[in-house]
Structure 1
Amino acid sequence: MSITEDAVKHREDYDGSSPFPEAGEHVPASRVQAGLTGTIVVVPFVALGVGIWLAWGAEGALTDLLLAVAFYLLTGLGVTVGFHRLLTHRSFTARPWLRVVLAVAGSMSFQGNLIDWVAVHRRHHAFTDRPGDPHSPYRYGAGLRGQLRGLAHAHLGWMFIADQTPVTRYAPDLLADPAMVRVARAFPALCVASLALPFVAGWAISGSLYGGLTAFLWAGLVRVALLQHVTWSVNSLCHIMGNRPFTTREHDRSTNLWALALLSFGESWHNGHHSEPACARHGMDRHQVDLSAGLIRLFERFGCATDVHWPDARRMERRRADRARAPASG
């Protein structure tokens, strides 16, 4: 089921506090989709428990941790710099080889194939916190009970609902890019590689099968779980808590949540991002850590990235002033 006509019809009439028109629709995803999604969510957490038990006093714990950090950086920046800032918002232009490398790295995060990911995120920006938004925490209303239910929906529940986002509408540019189509089709194989590479690295470094298995758990499954929940927290927590220094579109409640800034590579400066979606930097103030923007700056200096959309200081100050004048509930 795609975006309902009812949701599109009512988005302009939305009052900002009522449940979305489609909130009462609970068409579950197919058993196959639900099963795959559930497996991806549950198995890494099981691995966390097993990994803690195996790592207790183990000599290879430091190796596993370093590998986990390395693969978290690789796949996380693949999502934030590749999937999000490059492919979704076109915040910069990358050399063809870099575009493919970032797309491959992001695909190894277990967050879906890149074309579907981009389509869903563009739809989120088109209908932020209004009817049609695929993962708004305000789907069930702005009251306490509705927000608690909406928080679960925005974080995880939306993936278990049969609400397909049409890629022909939201990502036609990627469908027309043969390289991106090939990477999208390779998503299952890249997921296998995302788990196999830590296993091989752990085995090679430790010289034992046991070292490969513990690396598989920590740098593979546990790393996947952490990155997924950090990404999902931007969808959920960064629309509920935090501060909103910049003006955004009507009903858009995106926030800046400093606590997630480091783990999310700057993605949790979400209000700054929603105020200027095409900017390559989301942390608009100097003290706001944004590792993704730092990597893009590095690419720019080496000539791998061009046409980078950096924030306009005067424009952001106007948006800050507009926000300060806006009603507290706006």
Structure 2
Amino acid sequence: MSDLYDVTIIGGGPAGLYSAFYSGLRNMKTKIIEYQPELGGKVLLYPEKLIWDVGGQPPILGEKFAKQIVEQGLTFDPCVCTNTKVDFIEKNQEDNFVISTHDGEQHISNSIIMANGGGIINPTRLDIEGSSKYENQNLHYTIPSLKPFYQQKVLISGGGDTAIDWAHELLGIAKEVIVIYRKDNFTAHEANVTKLMNHPDSTLLNNTTIQKLIGDRQSIKQVQLLNEQSNEMNVIDVDHVVVAHGYNQEDSFNLSTDLELERKDGYFYKGNSFGCTSQEGIFAAGDIIAYEGKVHLLVGAFQDAVNAVNSAKSYIDPNATHSAIVSSHNERFKEKNQEIIKDMLNI
């Protein structure tokens, strides 16, 4: 028989991790289930991006922020299951939630917090023969570090904000940046496209697609491009190829027939600002929940997490206080604070 948890959080991104931190603060037995092999969520896709919009936090690289939010989320030692996909959710005879996962395991919980963001996100792969053998070499679907691109010739395929943002990040680091897009006009923010067009180290090519990757067993050396308007073929030398063709969003929302969905730019659970969804006992936090006044920023994910945890606590214990004691008065931090102060003073 599986252990019974007070709350199981589905999703290990910022909303899920802060939910784990806050539920630990509220003395709840907590589990995190994450589909990806590591915690951190979508922030891991942009490790070199500077994040400016977290209150009280100076501009911070995505990689460092992800590390910090994971560390905070694990403060109270929740059980963590990575590489685990949730297949469906149902209730047992004891009125507990049974979460069935792809590996045949069942996870039992009094309550659930859905923090699965936009669902399971995987980058759209380049549909070119032989491309997969270069994925661990110089064919990239994200940019984990800017260092490998120093003084290199980089081809970026894609016309959206991600492609153009990466191009801007590489300016001044790469020797040359070439951005190609299959349509007439780039869909990224017009001002950013214009800046890139006017930069001496960048080239933008419309109506252009990758036809062939030319290289050896180690890396791509050249790329064959097709201008689909003029039908002209061209081969260029490259050091790196970055593909930004968007992400495949797996349908991971219909986990319980009683959860009500709505479709806007993506799928969302209908709910309210307290994290409640259409099914009693299942709460939500972060990008996955829709309600009037929703803030789609990291700071909004933190507030969602607090409200979802408080609602889950009240659901399993109606006599519980509405929220946790603030950290300056919370007994759970006394010992940790002493350890931190001793470390700071080198005692």
Per the TM superposition, whether the score is higher than 0.5 is no
Q: What TM-score do you get using the length of structure 1 for normalisation? A: 0.27
Flag the structure with larger Rg.
Answer: 2
Q: Which has the higher contact order (CA 8 A, sep 6+)?
A: 1
Q: Which has the higher strand share?
A: 2
